[in-house]
A and B are shown apart, each in its own frame.
Chain A
Amino acid sequence: MTTALPPPKKKDPVRRTRQPTLPPGNRSREAQGLTAMAAVGRFALQICTACGQTQYPPRQVCGNCLGDDLPWRDLDPGGTLLAETRLHHANDLFFRDRLPWRLGVVRMDAGPSVVVHLAEDCQQGMRVRLSLNLDRSGHAVMNARPETPGPNSEDDLQLRELTMDPKDRRVLIVNGKTELGLALAQGFKAAGAREIFVGYAEPWKASAALDAAKAVDGVTLFPLDVTDTDSVQELAAVLGGKVEIMVNNSYHPRPGGAVDRLDMNLSREEMDIHYFGLLRLAGYFGPTMRARGADGAHGACAWVNVLSAYAQVNNPAFGTYSASQAAAWSLAQCLRAELSPGGIRVVNAFMGPLDDEWHQMVPPPKLPSDMVAGRIIEALQKGREDVPIGAVAEEIMQRLVENPKEIEREITL
């Protein structure tokens, strides 16, 4: 059974905050394939098309027959724990700070034996379930948990280094004036978040969603307008040292493109809210979050950007909106690199059209907000960093890999 993690105590003001360190981050080009699988929550390894052998670690040519066609295939994540050990000494600073550390060797049902990070409640001989997770350096590691996790299993300290579980953490939801903002507040409450800070702009415009969010236990409202640098700076001064999970759900979609609807004001607003807004949040909240990346078991851990799937390929029906989302996505990649020294994971959620007034004229499938919020929170709990939400987003990401030209031509989906 996993030791229950007590709720965080108030910070001792005379103790130095533990500085962020990262586990070893060098990987081969082939091994980055594991990173790609971990980022989206898949469990996949290379399979040789010539002899069928499962490859581990990833290789350029098959370890059995030297075949060089080694596509990635999803596999059964089951296995048996052959051996376990507990690391009591390490020269690496990251592990040194976190000793003892459990490691094991698992015989995968799919063939290979692998060295894994091991959950506290795994014993030798036990059936385990493997997963590929991103560690604090952003690279894939193999992790084993019991097939049927026991009580408190989410409290496992090693697991919490691989995930961004909202339990007992403090969350800032940037925009509380949308249905998604409300659904996120309710979702984080259900996921055990310690405090939920919810931002709102333009208070003179009423919002039923904000009124409902205010009534959620644990929610506190704060004025926050991402188009106003002063507003972002002022809130960072108040909350910067508290936010452990940032959720930038800024949302300002408007139909129209460049030729059929030239509107510089509208297009600038989209950029101001989606791109410059993220830039302002990053500039004022990023430094403190990065510095608190190792601040105990409940330190800062994640920065979520709620983006449109059309960030990845422009939908001309929402052409300038898509472009502003692409700009935000690009900046999010910059943010990912800049926050990585603190071990802060940047999670990009790509959603299909929401079922709201701005997509009234869009045929289904359209996403309910609570489903989107649920997928975002699940991604944090499972440690994913690229999260397609809904059939449209999943299809776009898949077809971009298969044939980017085809999806560009057929984007009317």
Chain B
Amino acid sequence: MADGQDAKAAISNTAGGNAAGGMLGQLLGGILGGGIRVVDLTMTLQPDVPTIVMPPEFGQSWPFRMEEISRYDHRGPFCYWNNLSCGEHTGTHFDAPIHWVSGKDLPENATDTIPVEKFIAHACVVDCSAQAAADPDFLLTRDAVEDWEAVHGLIPPRSWLLMRTDWSLKQNPVAYMNMTDDGAHTPGPHEDLIPWLIEERDVIGFGCEAVGTDAGQAQHFNVPFPCHYHMHGNNRFGLPALTNLDALPPQGAVLITPPLKIRQGSGSPARVLALVEAT
């Protein structure tokens, strides 16, 4: 904590008008031991992180792979580094509107063109962990979210709606993907929820702990994959495969979610952080 104290002192010394003064100074002071926790909502990228399964005759997303370039050896005596490969939608990742056909022609719809201020936003967290434990096909409905609002307050505009299921606690990829011969069985949003979130609550996007923002059986809904279809069709975002949602309050956390700036990128693995004020 000594470093934190020194940094706090340095910030308070400059708070009179230098670079880290004012509101940013308060923010940094909060982060450096002043009551703001930084929570990592990101799963570790490693080879056995599963990606969404498509029928084998379709194109497939590459899994995360890492090949060592050198490790202080004959290939490079001074350094350790790796070459990576993976699909854009691997691990904890950001879904851009261009990802879906419904969002293909929207302005500012790709990872390189989305205005950067959209990568920092408030989050509401609906705890569905008990329901998901009882039913892997659990769907979060509009009614359930309205009930949640009755307790925790309305969803403010431009917020993320995050569905906590504790699904990310499943370390075994088989349990995490939960696939049988009729597809995946993982929780997600009900098809009545998404249009309402957009039209009535003006959310910035939907996040969850499963491998994709739609439920495992969502290809059978009236609008297949409604979260992808409606969110991206309205220039909103997706944030699947999150972890540690149990560490967030129902309201009040701030998410930092920038994807890599890939030209015309449909998404990217992201290091998603949450800022949470101590209560």
Binding site for B on A (CB under 8 A): 202-206, 223, 225, 227-231, 263, 265-266, 269
Contacts and interface: CB of A to CB of B under 8 A. Distances in A.
B254 interface: no
Residue of B53, B60, B65 with highest tally of chain A CB at under 10 A: B65
A242 to B, nearest CB: 23
B17 interface: no
B65 A228 contact: yes
Contact of A204 (B60, B65, B66, B173): B173
Contact of B180 (A206, A228, A263): A206
A205 B67 contact: no
B160 interface: no
B173 A269 contact: no
B206 interface: no
B63 A227 contact: yes
A227 B179 contact: no
B62 interface: yes
A116 to B, nearest CB: 49
A203 B177 CA distance: 10
A265 B54 CA distance: 14
A266 B59 CA distance: 7
Contact of B179 (A205, A223, A230, A269): A205
B60 A269 contact: yes
6 contacts: A206-B180, A223-B48, A228-B47, A228-B48, A230-B66, A269-B60
Contacts of A223: 48
Nearest to B47: A228
Interface of B: 47-48, 50, 53, 59-60, 62-63, 65-68, 173-174, 176-177, 179-181
Where chain A touches its partner, the secondary structure class is: loop
A206 B60 contact: no
A231 B60 contact: no
Nearest to B61: A265
Nearest to A357: B56
A230 B65 CA distance: 9
A227 B51 CA distance: 15
A204 B59 contact: no
A265 B60 contact: yes
Given A204-B174, A206-B180, A265 B62 contact: yes
A266 B47 CA distance: 19
Nearest to A225: B47
Contact of A206 (B48, B63, B66, B179): B179
A227 to B, nearest CB: 7
Nearest to B46: A230
Contacts of A230: 47, 66
B176 A263 contact: no
A258 to B, nearest CB: 17
Contacts of B60: 265, 269
Contact of A231 (B47, B53, B173, B174): B47
Contacts of B48: 223, 228, 231
